[in-house]
Structure 1
């Protein structure tokens, strides 16, 4: 069976990455692509690398244009998808790559985003370990509404959740510093994202607990078994177009050994197609996951301070956004989870 697909926000970075992956998906047929100000223009005028979609023209992003498809992917700024989703048929699988349906707490939404709250959907990080065993994918089977994750949030959550689920790390005082590429912010014409500002520089932003992905990380850690996790989160823009290198540290509980740490992470991700724990002594690079739907994890212990150091690399546009969305859609539709998704990156 072939599923008809519409992609809203197809002229942006996330929309383009969705289309790049969908182009090779054997069970999905992209029939409609939409945009706001770019409606009426050829898709390849904005995504010139997607030659197999040269026949498509961007149409206006409306519920009417999205109706009639089996699957709708939304790659829109926060606040925009929530306005549309209530108008879409309940039998359509809708996957939102924006933030509108990620948070279960309306007060968190008000504090970090503001505006109308649209409610939470099934969360699209299949590998996220859950308290008591199992993984988030169990909640995606048969879902008709899925919220794809924030790229930074999924990186930090996947990095530290195994330690929370295993009960071997403290849920307080989790510290994360991320080197991130600016594509995660979309095609925003802001000074801080200009090449002249980024090239040759590392630029921290949202310092001091203000980043919008913090409540999403805390929500995920509660799913893994934490009661009241605290997370210090500092992202740093670096001069690479895509990628996240997350360095996350957490205090170990007394008496926890290096063997227990490695066992917790390896057990959490055993058999996973897209989340891999590297051998002892190895740490990943963003170059190792470029263009792939993989998250690579390196583990180390700083015994002097009693902390575990987790270094996780992923491609923010693939595993952090579009790949996670398509992976979750595969699960919801009963397709093999890996369909259309690649574990091989691009090098050099």
Structure 2
């Protein structure tokens, strides 16, 4: 018998990707999947890509999940705190929501509102020392999708002192699955296709998370909704302080299985990371402004959500970090 796993919020896009990854994992045994309005529906009806997975969605409550050894919470922001507090103390939890990411309660109130439930170990293994902290934790707060994309591009540059922390500018495009599965007029195919739309300009909720994870002190972020189902492409620029930014990235990720600094001249694109747990990076220095420019791409449902959560769960469970995860994308 493997490690018994439950997935709360399994009817959403990230929840569906978690089900796919857990079902194919060599050491995980999927024992429970829950939903709200779709409780009682077969998983294969809600997620046709999971045909053959004989499981019915249960109610999202502690009783449904309490027999699991490990629970993934793929719930809307603000809903994980209460459920996590009701689960048995011995159950390991990875929360894909934002409830436990921020150390600053004031930042939570400003960007999310409501009750700040506290701070768990931050779930980005590639940050210095974080892999060991995750492995020693029973409660882990998974990164946000934009935060993973941008932090992986920026953190090594600030740590190496080659980029200024007080002048970071980001423009990042995300596929529609990043907005969740709820029916919204602005996410209809007729509205999205053939269009690029900025949103939450100057006030995106991932900004304090990125600053907390990287040490940036000032960060301007413009998110853009792109006409594609999944993927994030972020362009991160910062004032150069001297030194070699490419060398900083190569040194930081030399032994990382899921972060790849591409050969010079090759630039990341979202399709190459689709279906994988990988992040692709490229860096240059702008010939006119002298600013460092890093382009970062990943699958927002993979390394940006479900894949990252499984990577953390592997560490928490004493398993190989890469178990059940693909390094390679599925394009085309």
TM-score band w.r.t. shorter chain: over 0.9
- The equivalences for 1:283-298 within 5 A come to 283-298=267-282
- Are the equivalent residues in 2 in contact too, given 1:281–1:299 (CA < 8 A)? no
Aligned to 2:141: 147
Q: Which moved more, 1:301-310 or 1:4-13?
A: 301-310
How large is the Cα RMSD of the aligned pairs? 1.0
Q: Is the partner of 1:114 in helix, strand or coil?
A: coil
Aligned to 2:237: 249
In the alignment, structure 1 residue 195 sits paired with structure 2 residue 195: no
- The equivalences for 1:35-54 within 5 A come to 35-53=35-53
CA-CA distance at 1:332 after TM superposition: 1.1
In the alignment, structure 1 residue 219 sits paired with structure 2 residue 218: no
Deviations 1:96-144 (A, max 9, x none): 111111111100000000011111111111112xxxxx34212101210
Deviations 1:68-112 (A, max 9, x none): 210000110011111100111121110111111111110000000
User: Aligned equivalents of 1:27 and 1:7: distance in 2?
Assistant: 15
Q: Is the partner of 2:49 in helix, strand or coil?
A: coil
User: Aligned equivalents of 1:284 and 1:135: distance in 2?
Assistant: 27
| TM norm structure 1 | 0.93
- Are the equivalent residues in 1 in contact too, given 2:44–2:52 (CA < 8 A)? no
In the alignment, structure 1 residue 307 sits paired with structure 2 residue 295: no
CA-CA distance at 1:279 after TM superposition: 1.3
Unmatched runs of 5 consecutive residues or more in structure 2: none
Aligned to 1:158: 152
In the alignment, structure 1 residue 171 sits paired with structure 2 residue 155: no
User: Aligned equivalents of 2:166 and 2:177: distance in 1?
Assistant: 31
Deviations 1:26-73 (A, max 9, x none): 1000011100111111111111111241x2111100011110210000
Unmatched runs of 5 consecutive residues or more in structure 1: 129-133
CA-CA distance at 1:182 after TM superposition: 1.0
Q: Which moved more, 1:279-288 or 1:317-326?
A: 279-288
User: Aligned equivalents of 2:72 and 2:105: distance in 1?
Assistant: 23
- The equivalences for 1:102-141 within 5 A come to 102-128=101-127, 134-141=128-135
CA-CA distance at 1:343 after TM superposition: 0.8
CA-CA distance at 1:261 after TM superposition: 1.5
CA-CA distance at 1:304 after TM superposition: 2.6
User: Aligned equivalents of 2:65 and 2:99: distance in 1?
Assistant: 18
CA-CA distance at 1:173 after TM superposition: 1.4
Runs of 4+ deviating beyond 4 Å: none
Aligned to 1:18: 18
- Are the equivalent residues in 2 in contact too, given 1:281–1:300 (CA < 8 A)? no
User: Aligned equivalents of 2:281 and 2:149: distance in 1?
Assistant: 10
Q: Is the partner of 1:188 in helix, strand or coil?
A: coil
Aligned to 2:74: 75
| TM norm structure 2 | 0.98
Aligned to 1:316: 300
